[in-house]
Amino acid sequence: MEFAYQQLKCPKKNHNNSPFTYICMGESCDKPERLLCTKCAIDHGHSNCYVLIEEVLKKSQYNIQNWPQDVSGQKVKNLISWNDKEQASQQIESLFEELQTELLAKLQNLKKYMVNCFAYQGENMREETDFAGQYFDRAYDLRDLKQRIIEFLQEDIDKEDMEDFIIKFLRNPERKVALDQAKRASLKLIPNCKYYIDPVLFRDIAEKEFYQKVEILKQSFTGGYQPVVWKLENSGLYQSNQIKEITPGICYQSQCQHGEEVLFSEAEFNTGNHGFRMRFDQVSENYRCHVLVGLYDLNQRKDEFRPYICLMCCDHRDSMMPRKNRYFDVHSGSQIDVRANFDTNELEIREIFGDGAEGAVFQSNLKNVVKSINNRVQVRKKFFVFFSSSGAHKISLISSY
């Protein structure tokens, strides 16, 4: 029975009798087809709503990707799953197996890349390195010292003779000349040396970065449903140097009454689902305009801020359209939830009230924008919060992913 669904073929012309593979579970989807073959799925859109028919037949509702579709259902599912000892253990094991595989693959790729870089450099600098090596050998040759150590161990010379030889060896004028020549040769070598490794520094950087990432992973599951996976940072644009950083990466206060200050996400994105939630701890009464929230395109030289919406006046770019015909009512305590799906190119910005209810919701579909700007794979974006002549707004990052 569980494989019988593969016998059900898509009747659409030019779909080659492909079997139905997905079900679209998007509640608000306005398209008539919900059973989709792989070709249907390409045209249907919003792939984040697809569930595999095979998973529905074989798995429980706890183990089906993209189900439930609503945030509340996802939270309940996760609470139940992660508090079941066996399920939590299995999921953690699976997560770490994937991470280990991916990390090992990345390290292997880096190693291969480094080997190729140095092989190429060595081949193209062989003449220079041979020249420098001749002087190095003269300056640092230890064969005579080695011979004297052997003689000392065999008691052919005494300790005093050994000490005297070491001093003469180190202070030998000919060695000093060779040492100077080696240094001059190295100065000619350095400008052409594109690749170089300091093993100690390389290891220190690797360990530091690794430990930082591990700490971020640790924080991501110890904060309940509001982890801070990445933080905010000062963009350095316009008058951003005036922004007051109250809690590093978390809490900022705008200062400029007649200028522009911009915060970026410290992370950049081009695939997957990412977003953040921020809270207004203080809203300037005298200078309310403007606070823009959206995406910053790292690939462009102009028009980098797109799409966006102003939380104060609802001015927007790239068709940020209201979903409920409501506008933001920003005040002290207001929370703004920003979500982006970089696979389907959709951005959603919503207002969250204290009781968890939703206020205004604005959405933008970036498909046409992305296609006209750049190759899909090359798109690199950051989230931004843009204060324009806004006085003393204070915001805090509550969660990010």
For residue 288, being part of any structural domain is answered with yes
SS3 category, 141: coil
Same domain, 306 and 251: yes
Q: Can you give the residue range of the structural domain that contains 262?
A: 232-400
CATH of the domain at 250: 2.60.120.920
Same domain, 246 and 317: yes
For residue 185, being part of any structural domain is answered with yes
CB atoms within 10 A of CB 83: 9
Q: Kindly report whether the peptide bond that precedes residue 11 is cis, defined as omega within 30 degrees of 0.
A: no
Q: Which of 267, 235, 233, 269 is closest to 250 using CA atoms?
A: 233
Same domain, 253 and 162: no
Task: State which of 19, 36, 68 marks the end of a domain.
Answer: 68
For residue 256, being part of any structural domain is answered with yes
- DSSP E strands in 223-353: the ranges are 232-234, 244-247, 251-253, 260-265, 273-282, 291-297, 305-310, 316-317, 321-322, 335-341, 346-352
Question: Torsion angle, CA of 17/21/27/30, rounded to 10 degrees?
Answer: -20
Same domain, 237 and 365: yes
Q: What is the pLDDT of residue 263?
A: 94
Same domain, 240 and 331: yes
Same domain, 142 and 239: no
Q: What is the pLDDT of residue 198?
A: 84
Which CB contacts under 8 angstroms, 24+ apart, belong to 135-139?
Answer: 135/178, 135/181, 135/182, 135/184, 135/185, 136/182, 136/185, 138/175, 138/178, 138/181, 138/182, 139/175, 139/178, 139/179, 139/181, 139/182
pLDDT tens-place string over residues 357-366 = 677 788 876 5
For residue 92, being part of any structural domain is answered with no
Q: What is the pLDDT of residue 167?
A: 93
Same domain, 160 and 267: no
Predicted structure pTM score: 0.44
For residue 370, being part of any structural domain is answered with yes
Same domain, 34 and 140: no
Query: For residue 334, what are the CA distances in angstroms to 12, 95, 165, 310, 358?
Result: 48, 35, 80, 14, 11
Same domain, 283 and 395: yes
Q: What is the pLDDT of residue 331?
A: 80
Q: What is the pLDDT of residue 227?
A: 66
Tokens of 4: 């019988």
Report how many domains make up the chain: 3
Q: What is the pLDDT of residue 264?
A: 94
Do 230 and 351 contact (CB within 8 A), yes or no? no
Same domain, 357 and 275: yes
Query: For residue 338, what are the CA distances in angstroms to 278, 307, 327, 349?
Result: 8, 12, 15, 5
Q: Which of 365, 369, 387, 236 is closest to 300 using CA atoms?
A: 369
Q: What is the pLDDT of residue 375?
A: 44
Q: Which of 291, 319, 305, 310 is closest to 381 using CA atoms?
A: 305
pLDDT less than 50: residues of the chain? 223, 368-377
Same domain, 34 and 158: no
For residue 205, being part of any structural domain is answered with no
Q: What is the pLDDT of residue 175?
A: 85
Same domain, 236 and 177: no
For residue 113, being part of any structural domain is answered with no
